[in-house]
Structure formats: C-alpha cells, structure tokens
Homo-oligomer: A and B are copies of this chain.
Amino acid sequence: MAKWVYKFSEGRASMRNLLGGKGCNLAEMTYLGMPIPKGFTITTEACTDYYDNGKQISDEIKAQIVENVKWLEEVNGKKLGDPEDPLLVSVRSGARASMPGMMDTILNLGLNDISVEGFAKKTNNPRFAYDSYRRFIQMFSDVVMEVPKRFFEQKIDDMKAERGVKFDIELTTEDMKELVKIFKGIYKENKGEDFPQDPSVQLMEAVKAVFRSWDNPRAIVYRRMNDIPGSWGTAVNVQTMVFGNKGNTSGTGVAFTRNPATGEKGIFGEYLINAQGEDVVAGVRTPQPISQLQKDLPAVYDQFITLATNLENHFHDMQDMEFTIEEGKLYFLQTRNGKRTAQAAVKIACDLVDEGQIDKYEAVKRIEAKSLDQLLHPVFDAAALKAGEVIGHALPASPGAAAGKIYFTAEDAKAAGIGGRGERVVLVRLETSPEDIEGMHASQGVLTARGGMTSHAAVVARGMGTACVSGCTALVVNEEAKTATLGGHVLHEGDYISLDGSTGNIYLGDIKTVAPNTSSGDFGRIMGWVDEIRATKNFGVKANADTPADAANAVKLGAQGIGLCRTEHMFFNADRIPIFRRMILSDTVEEREAALTKLIPFQKGDFKAMYKALEGRPMVVRYLDPPLHEFVPKTQEEIDALAKDMNLTPEVVKERCDALHEFNPMMGHRGCRLAVTYPEIAKMQTRAVLEAAIEVNQEDGYNIVPEIMIPLVGEAKELKFVKDVVDETAKEVMAEKGVTIEYKVGTMIEIPRAALTAGKIAQYAQFFSFGTNDLTQMTFGFSRDDAGKFLDSYYQNKIYESDPFARLDQEGVGQLVQMAVKNGRATRPDLQCGICGEHGGDPSSVEFCYKAGLNYVSCSPFRVPIARLAAAQAILNNPDVR
C-alpha cells in the first residue's frame, strides 16, 4: 500500500517533492527538536492522484487521513469536535515551490455548534471561541464552498454600523454569537444545506478544497510567471491550532534572519502581542518590531533568537519564519528560505560565502537570475511611491520605473526628450511601429494601448532598457487632440505620469525614481564568479543590438559581442527612409541599385560605429529581414513627397505600396526571400559590412572577422544562392580595397524546415543562430500578434502552462533545436550554434540552450547580466552535460 500521509516526525527537508516546502520544513524542524505544533502532511502525490481520479480522494488516502487524525487526537489528548475540549486544526497548502498567498488556508477547523461551547469554557473566553467559530465558517464557506467572502464581510459591516462601532474588536460575545447564526444562514441560503457539523466531513472537504486551489486561476498565473509545472500538485498540512490571542503572554509574528530588502544580517521582523496572524495582516493594530519581544517576553525572545539562528545555520540560508506564542510557549509554524530583493540576494550570498557557510558556486546558484532586472533599471523611491495614485494597470512589458511628461507622437517625444529639450518624457501611443524608434529612444518610458508582451513596443523597449507598459486597453488615446483618458482622468500633452514597467502600474503625477545599482562590490564579485564558471565550459553570452549606443551598453553589461545586429532598424532614420522607400518601390534593378548605392555610406557608417563600440569583439550582422511593406509611406504627405522624389504620380506610388500588401506578412516575402528576388540588396549589405570591417581594422588595428547572417532560410540551396552573392561581392570588395579579410557566413534557423534539413544547410553555413521567435511561431502555427486572442483560454484550461514566446517550448521547438544542432554538427563538426530570440534572456531557456550544446546565447543588452548568471547556473546544475 502506498504511503499518502506522513507525520511531521516521519519526514525530512530532503522530501520536498513529496511533502511540499511547508511540510518538509515542518518535518525538518520536528527532527531538529524544535517546538512545532503536531501534525501531518498529505503528500503532493495524493494531490496528483486526486486529479487523476476525476477530482476524487481515493478511499485509501481517506483511510490514511482518518488514521492520522486519530493519532493526532491521541498525542494532543483532545478529539476533533469534542463537546468539552475540542481539538482544532489548521489545513494549509504547501507546494514544492513557494507560492505565497496563491492557495488556500482554513483555520479553526473542528468547531461546531457544540464544540464551540466546550472551547469557550476550556479557554474561559466565549468571545474568543465564537469569534474563532465565525472565522471558521467564513473561511470554510469561501475556500471550500465558494460562497463569496464579501457576503460575510457585509454582515460584519452592517452589524458594526448598527452598533455604532468602528472595529471588529469592539463587537461583543453576543454579537459574535449572532454573527455565527447569520453566517450559518448565509451558508444555507447559498448551498441549500446546513453548515456541516461533523468535523471529519469538514476536514475531508477542506483537504479537497486545498487540492482544488492548486488549479485556481491565480495559482495558474503564478505558476506561469514562475515556471512551475502544473503536474507537481500541492501537499496539504493538517496541524494542531495554537493561539496567539490568549492574552498578554501570547502573540504572533513573522521574522527573517536577515533584512530581505537590503540583506543586512540580523533578526528582522514584526510581532503583535495577543493577536492572531490575521490581525497582523488586517492592519487594525500596528505590529511591533521584533526587538519589542525582548522587552515583553525576554526568555521567549532569547529562545526565538537561538532557534532562528540555528535554523539559518542549518539551512545555510536566510530564513523567513512564522511563529506563535501561546501563553508563554513559543511555537514555530513555518520556516522557509526567505524571498528577498535582488540587492539583498547578492549581499546575502556574498556574506554567506564570507561566513564560510557556502562556497562561491552555491552563492551563484542562490541568486534568482530573473531578479537581476531589479538591479539594472531605475525603481521608484519607496516613500514617494506611497503617495502615488494608480490610475491604470497593464502588461509589465519592459522593466524599470519611469516618470515624465506625456507626448503622443514620436516626433514630439523626440523634440522634448533626450537629445531634444532634455525633458523627461513618457511616450503614449495606441501602439508603436518601427518609425517610432527615435521617439522611444528619447523617452524614459513608453505606454501603449495595444499590444502584448512581445509587441513592437515591448520588444524594442526591452532592447533599449526603457520602461514600458503595454496593452493598456482602458487607455483611450486621441492623438489629434493630444489627449488621453485613463481611469477617469483626462491627460493632456505635458502632464506628468509615472510607469512601473516591472509591475505594469500606471500612476498619476511625477514620482521620484532611484537610479539602478550595479556598482555594489557584491554584484561585481558574483558576476566575477559567474564568468569564471562560464569560462570553464566556454558558454558565451552576447547581445542583440542595432545601434552603437546599444553596443557600448551591451559591452558594459558584459556581452562578449553582438549576436544579432538587425540591419533594417538602420533604415528608419529620417534621412534614410526616403531612399529606402525609393529602393523598395523601384520597378527595375537599375533604379533599385541606384537607391542602394546611396544607402551604402549610411549602412557602412553604422557598421563602423558599431565595430568601434565593440572594440574588436565579434558581431553577427543579419541581412534585411522584414516584409518590405513595413517601410512604405503611410500618410498622404509621405506619399506625395516620395512621388515627387521618384518622378511618379502619387497614384502610382500608392499602387506600388498596395502591391506590397500581404495576407500573412509573417509568412510572406521577407528574410532571405528578399535577397533571392533582389540580390542587389544582399550585395549592398555585403559591401557595407566588409568595407566597414576593413576600414576599422586599418584605423584601429583590430582583427575583426565579420559574421554575416542570412535570415529565414528553409532550404540549403536558398542559402547557397545568397552565400554565392555574398562571396562574389566580397571578392570584388577585397580586390578594390587590395586587402583580404576573413569573414563567416551563417544562417538563422527559424523555419521548421531549416531545422529538419540542417544537415544540408550546414554545408553552406559556418554558424547557426536559432531565431526562436519565428521558430516558435512556425512550429506552433500561431503568430505573436494574433495569439493574444486565444492564449488566455489556453492558460485557463491548462493547455499551456507558460507563454511559449517567453519560455522556450522544449518539447516541440526544443526538439527542432536539438535536431538542428545534431545534424548540423554531423556535417560540420565545428559549427558554431547560438540563439538570438527573446528566449536568449530567459533563464530556463538558457539552461535548455546549454544542455542542447549551443555555444552562446544572445539577448537584449539589459538581459545580458541575467543571461550570464543563468548560464553559470545552467553549468552548475548540469555537471554531466559537457
């Protein structure tokens, strides 16, 4: 017979997968002989079994629960529902990974109309007993039976109003008794049956409710945000209740062994005398700092400090503890490795190394890679933030805090912001397009009404490190009138708003921000260890960058080069776009070549500046990729200007623009398909890259080996065709310049067929770079831009657990990556493989890339430190891989 239930005394910390985090730590503390209210844990496997059985608890599991309840009654010398001296228990969830507040808790279970009387007598506190009972009815109804909480709260408010009192505490014993009566009435009205009096029914329903809560919508969202698999399930802890509200030798609190905000060493926490945990949360009374306990109950304080210190030393990490003092006796209800800010994490890890508790490898493992974002972007000043009024909330599309005057067009933002009048600017748009890039560059933050986490605004903002909140559907923008409305406020051009790109909050007014902090010595020490670890396995981190400023920033953040330079972004400048438009609307090769010839100096200049910023580091240049219609003029004004320029009628220009329209642009005339139909574009780009490299090598004495990347290849012959154009042009350039220069030609693997035929493609490619954005789109058959309409249903129905554009789909897309690496290297053993999709900055995807044998990951500059850390962690977590 399988064992589905463990007494705390039967477990250990190592049994986290089975017992959940709370359960295994309660077991460990029991093992350490600490004061823990007795109890038992129903395993995560029981939860999985519950789901596999059509949401039923099996008889076997029920029997084991009943058996353990008996044991609990024996050791406590009390029985559940006993009329004289009832045993009360708490029922709480506890998953493998900490999911604070995501799932449900029921306290005071075991009370009923009869046992409440015994409890009242035994505690000599009828008000306390009835208060406990009404709390239990309320929690049980809400959590177990889905009778909305507000039905109950309304009744309390009504009663307080009737009595003319302000706080719950002012309600009398009789009031509590009446509330119990009213609450039971609400239950019956909603459920059509009486509130269950049998404690064993109460318990079994509560366990089921906790199992169910594993799949409540907020838990699903939390799991998606934190990469927690839905298959894990949650354990359930049934524990004897202790009460901190039994007078002045009782109390309750939470404490950390180090400051979770700063990492500073020392017990840090709050407690309330004569209170239950709920009261701390409710904010009715202000909690006291933990030091107050020393004055109130010095012996308990000393015991607490000793035990807390022991716990940290035992777990070698900062602990976050819940405790209750019942009539002078201290109980620990929970301990766990505490959540902390990135800044604290870095300090704690370094301190623990210095204290000899952990080594540098463990220190590197301890920092959550994603959290480094906090260190790299401005944050709001905590005090200033308290005064801020939230007027809206949308997607946290690019992290960081920003405050500035709003402008509604990229042009206005550019004139007002960085490089213009020097104001702090927040650009507010319906959505952004490539033409807005300069305006985005000039802004502190970007707010859009449309678009998801991978919309243009989001992707570009993340690349720039600019705060962005996107997809704010409540925002109504009137670009013409230069006004917007949000949360009932009308905003005019020049009004201040503030954005938090890490939370998605939008605030009225100008909230003070604090600059990012990467200068701490601890951060430098950690990143030093990180790079040391990466060097042992030669696992590189590069950046995606398209401008010299981004390139310089990437180098500053530790990038070993540019893994993706998107050349098309270079064409949107005001002095270039007209020439580019002439090129794409040309009717003949000659016209096109004439326009391209004019573009060479610009593109070459850009590349030279990039190479100089990189100081000799390598750069992968991707050739023109997007569908051409992205570049066409949109306003009549632009069309007229272009028509004049090209000596055509506006009608003809309009027609040619329309002819570029595509039904499915993502699957249209783009990528290397442009180079196949218009080889002259690839010629121009080759000339620009090679001339730039040759000149910078000569001017600065570098030995740059240009890396040319052909996008969207799906067939070996297609790559060969474009590579032939590149090679021919390279010969010409070298002959003209009278020098030889080494260069590499490689390809993006971003079309399923490229992965499927990688063995052949590698004949012509010296490197592969996985463009996992497109590869994900094609492999799943849905586009980033359109998936928003249905992905929510997919999350709700647990079909997908995470956004495949944020976290690499290892099963499908990953299979193609593995296949391509394997078959590509079979053809060309020294094939260099990297990734340059958004996934390059996602820690779990970085680990996958390491395991798949990639040589490097490339991500937006601001994610480089995250990727470096994730890369080192991948190496440490997979000692047998390479």
Chain A interface (Cβ within 8 Å of chain B)? Answer: 662-669, 673, 676-677, 712, 714-715, 717-718, 721, 750-753, 756-757, 774, 777-783, 785-787, 789-790, 793-794, 797-800, 809, 811-813, 815-816
Contacts and interface: CB of A to CB of B under 8 A. Distances in A.
Nearest to A751: B781
Contacts of A721: 797, 799
Contacts of A794: 676, 718
Copies of this chain, complex-wide, total 2
A715 B800 contact: yes
Given A785-B664, A786-B662, A812-B753, A676 B797 contact: yes
A108 to B, nearest CB: 38
Contacts of A797: 676, 721
6 contacts: A664-B667, A712-B781, A751-B781, A753-B780, A753-B813, A757-B811
B668 A782 contact: yes
A757 B673 CA distance: 29
Contacts of A781: 667, 712, 714, 750-753, 774, 778
Contacts of A782: 667-668, 673
A760 to B, nearest CB: 8
B718 A789 contact: no
A677 B787 CA distance: 12
Contact of A756 (B673, B712, B779, B798): B779
Contacts of A712: 781
A664 B783 contact: yes
Contacts of A779: 714, 751-753, 756, 778
A813 B785 CA distance: 25
A788 B751 CA distance: 18
B677 A752 contact: no
A766 to B, nearest CB: 20
A712 B787 CA distance: 14
Interface centre among A665, A667, A809 (most CB of B within 10 A): A667
A603 to B, nearest CB: 23
Interface of A is mostly: helix
A74 B681 CA distance: 56
Contact of A786 (B668, B715, B789): B668
A677 B789 CA distance: 9
Contacts of A774: 781
A752 B812 contact: yes
Given A663-B666, A677-B789, A753-B813, 18 more contacts: A663-B786, A664-B667, A664-B783, A664-B786, A665-B786, A667-B777, A667-B782, A667-B783, A676-B794, A714-B781, A714-B812, A715-B800, A721-B797, A721-B799, A752-B778, A752-B779, A752-B781, A756-B816
* 3 nearest A-B residue pairs (beta carbon): A668-B786, A753-B812, A751-B781
Contact of A676 (B665, B676, B780, B790): B790
A786 B667 contact: yes
A717 B712 CA distance: 30
A797 to B, nearest CB: 5
Nearest to A712: B781
A568 B720 CA distance: 42
Contacts of A815: 756
B811 A673 contact: no
A783 B663 contact: yes
Given A751-B781, A800-B715, A789 B669 contact: yes
A382 to B, nearest CB: 40
A757 B676 contact: no
A867 to B, nearest CB: 26
Contacts of A718: 794, 799
A786 B668 CA distance: 5
Contacts of A714: 779-781, 812
A721 B714 CA distance: 33
Contacts of A787: 668
Nearest to A813: B753
A752 B778 CA distance: 7
Given A757-B812, A815-B756, A717 B667 contact: no
B676 A799 contact: yes
Nearest to A797: B721
A793 B676 contact: yes
Nearest to A790: B673
